[in-house]
Structure 1
Amino acid sequence: MLFHALGLGLLSALVQTGSAANIFVSHYTGVVYTLTLTGSTLTQNSTVTLGGQPSWMTFNSTDRTLYVADETGSGSASVWSVAAATNGGLKQSGKASAPLGAVANVQYGGGNYLASAHYQTSIISTHKLPLSGSALQTFSLTMSARGPNSRQDAPHPHETIVDPTEQFILAPDLGADLIRIYRIDASTGKLIACTPYTDTPGTGPRHATFWGKNVLYVGNELANSVHAFTVSYPDGGCLTLTKFQTITTMPGGKAAPSGTKVGEVRVKDNSLYASNRRDLSFSPNDSMAAFSLDTSGTMTFQAITTSGGTYPRTFQINKAGDMVVIGDQTTANVVVVKRDVATGALGPQIASMRIGVAGHAENDDGLSAVLWDE
């Protein structure tokens, strides 16, 4: 089942009534951009060159600061802060040394700390904010044995997220088939390792999102599926997870085409979304999968729609819930699509813009991340 596009007349009316919105974009060439969406037109506003390989951005809208991870794989790596003016201007405001290979970060502890996942070097690191010097803390991750997939040669944490109570940080580990759990020491900002959740060998958990306080969804890159977990908070103990559903990201529960890799997962209201990289369902473009959620959080597959490019590494839903920005890594284009706030359906496309140089499938190049400025 595919969502049908709205009529052109209705689309024109929708985009003409919207006001301008800014979008942050990072590119593996070392540059962060601001784009402005006005109606159905994207224009480049400002840039800042950081160097390295910017791979992920976290935005604090209160102090208007971007925290940018660096996936640099040799030599030395950094983590940067970037001041974002309300007019779209960008300026580097801080920098600290960091372990190599960072692919995600998250702010925590009342905005005073940053936790990062380092895929290549099997490390979780933390930094005190504002950024300076080196890491506050590093966890060198281990695993008992190689996994069944060739990419599971070592621990590969792929994201750090904070739970809704702001007491814990979770890190899906693609290499070790674990969801690592850390308790936050509120007085120091340091993390204390808890017992991780152990998943089925070959699952490859990559990205996660909470739905309320008690449901967690995890997108699995190697299994091309999404898990749903019930989240429990024992008094004085560590957060625990209980899996209650697994669903594929393809129509009819089909197996994903060879080479497909689930990317991000995001939730909005009673809908969940996952990006399918390299599935070519809309040849030559890839797809976005949409699921509806019932009152218990159980997922029902709804549809796939085009991502508007190839390798949708990252996407985000705006706060109003009526637009989604998609970052297609390999084609290096930013795509904005409508979202029906009543049904959760995605489409049609509002705008698309190529940013910097295109990448190559399976390589760490091209466009890396997109975020709404809000």
Structure 2
Amino acid sequence: MADTAGSGDDVVVRAFIGSFTSAGGRGVTAAAVDQETGALTVLGATDAVPDPSYLALGHGPGPGGSTLYAVSETEHGAVAALDVSGDAPRPLGGLRPVDGGGPTHLALAAGHLLTANYGSGSVSVLPVRADGTPGPVASVLPHTGSGPDRDRQLSPHAHQVLPDPSGNWVLSVDLGTDSVRVCGLDPATGELRPHEETALRPGTGPRHLAFHPAGGHAYVLNELTPTVTVCRWNAAAGALEPVGETSVLPGEAQDGDPRTYPSEVVVAHDGRFLWTANRGDDTLSVLALDATGERAVLVATVDCGGHWPRDLALDPAGRRLYVANERSGDVSWFDIDPETGTPRRAGSLEAPAASCVVFA
């Protein structure tokens, strides 16, 4: 998204940072992005949404042409819409309950806003109204099952929900059940219709998924083991098939202390590289993908620039990575070597309890 601030023809490219207000974060922060250096400059913020741990941009009718959506990752979960046409994000209406606990992720699909509710192990669907605000919950799909990790997998924990590249399916990644569910979404009613459930290796704790730009493969990042599961994706059939698993850490670091909890996976626009953020180890991993997208090989790890990297985002041009380091309270940016895919730290912005970074 591009927006214009001030006078003249100065164009300001925006980034939006979510952070935990309960841990001293600013809430939702808007920042200008210097397209030459990648540097972030705070424009404004709002703490009107409690613990907005994840954000998503959608198109709305406001002056800026866009609406920002945020989860409120609280016991009684909610979502909010914000007008981002000015410097400071401005709430559009109040919080809308999602009928689920602890939502950690949200996405837009077929005119609806969907949330992955970690605490209640479910996915909620809310219609997006003409003014860009979410309406009352249209449907809730509860997940069922458990996994072998008695500390983390006694029940379902939906961690991410997103549409596939074709727009015909919705996938939900569940850390508690070691599986990914594929559903159809009825655009008229907002009902999610289960299509299939793909089982991953028990105890891996899948957290987030990213698609290859060609659309034929998906990469599931696991939180309870530091690995990526490579899957074939058949959009015509709505079928996800695991074909391999690759560590995101060197062999000697896999069983290190402290334990590593990978958080986010990002794929390069040209499909040559895949990056992950790794909490505990506090690194970013670089994996090279072969021409088919089916083979991933770890080629490097670098320091994340802070502590506890909760989120990782690629800028719209595909030249830089931005890391939300939750516990050190910063967003750091890295220039990407176009030949090797290796990130090189270029700067940082103070951002207490940072949890998410999104770009248009």
Q: Normalised by the size of structure 1, how large is the TM-score?
A: 0.83
1:24 is displaced (CA, Å) by 0.8
Structure 2: distance between partners of 1:23 and 1:107:
18
Structure 2: distance between partners of 1:121 and 1:287:
30
Letter in 2 for 1:171: S
Classify the secondary structure of the residue corresponding to 1:196. Answer: strand
List per-residue Cα deviations over 1:217-265 (Å, max 9, x = no partner): 000001110010111245xxx5112211211011258525242101100
Equivalent residue, structure 2, for 1:200 = 201
Equivalent residue, structure 2, for 1:247 = 246
Map of 1:8-27 to 2, 5 A cutoff? 21-27=13-19
Map of 1:195-344 to 2, 5 A cutoff? 195-211=196-212, 212-234=214-236, 238-252=237-251, 254-258=253-257, 259-268=259-268, 269=270, 270-279=272-281, 286-297=282-293, 298-344=295-341
Structure 2: distance between partners of 1:185 and 1:102:
22
1:27 is displaced (CA, Å) by 1.1
Letter in 2 for 1:78: A
1:188 is displaced (CA, Å) by 3.2
Single out whichever of 268-277 and 60-69 deviates more from structure 2. 60-69
Equivalent residue, structure 1, for 2:181 = 180
Structure 1: distance between partners of 2:322 and 2:59:
17
> Is this contact kept in 2: 1:124–1:139, CA < 8 A?
yes
Letter in 2 for 1:134: P
> Percent of counterpart pairs with the same letter?
25
Match of 1:58 among 53, 56, 59: 56
1:61 is displaced (CA, Å) by 5.9
Map of 1:142-157 to 2, 5 A cutoff? 142-143=144-145, 145-157=146-158
1:213 is displaced (CA, Å) by 1.6
Structure 2: stretches of 5+ with no match in the other structure: 1-10
Single out whichever of 130-139 and 199-208 deviates more from structure 2. 130-139
The 1:41–1:200 alpha-carbon spacing in structure 2 relative to 1, beyond 3 Å, is closer
Letter in 2 for 1:24: F
Classify the secondary structure of the residue corresponding to 1:55. Answer: coil
1:314 is displaced (CA, Å) by 0.6
Is 1:113 aligned to residue 109 of structure 2?
A: no
Calculate the aligned-residue CA RMSD, in Å.
Answer: 2.0
Equivalent residue, structure 2, for 1:31 = 27
1:119 is displaced (CA, Å) by 0.3
> Is this contact kept in 2: 1:119–1:157, CA < 8 A?
yes
Equivalent residue, structure 1, for 2:3 = none
Equivalent residue, structure 2, for 1:355 = 351
Equivalent residue, structure 1, for 2:44 = 46
Equivalent residue, structure 2, for 1:72 = 74
Classify the secondary structure of the residue corresponding to 1:117. Answer: strand
Structure 1: stretches of 5+ with no match in the other structure: 1-18, 280-285, 357-365
1:135 is displaced (CA, Å) by 1.0
> Is this contact kept in 2: 1:224–1:256, CA < 8 A?
no
> Is this contact kept in 2: 1:149–1:202, CA < 8 A?
no
> Is this contact kept in 2: 1:161–1:170, CA < 8 A?
yes
Structure 1: distance between partners of 2:252 and 2:59:
38
Equivalent residue, structure 2, for 1:160 = 161
Structure 1: distance between partners of 2:66 and 2:255:
39
Equivalent residue, structure 1, for 2:105 = 104
Equivalent residue, structure 2, for 1:371 = 358
> Is this contact kept in 2: 1:248–1:254, CA < 8 A?
no
> Is this contact kept in 2: 1:208–1:265, CA < 8 A?
yes
1:189 is displaced (CA, Å) by 3.5
Q: Normalised by the size of structure 2, how large is the TM-score?
A: 0.86
Letter in 1 for 2:246: I
List per-residue Cα deviations over 1:316-347 (Å, max 9, x = no partner): 11121111111011111011111123432211
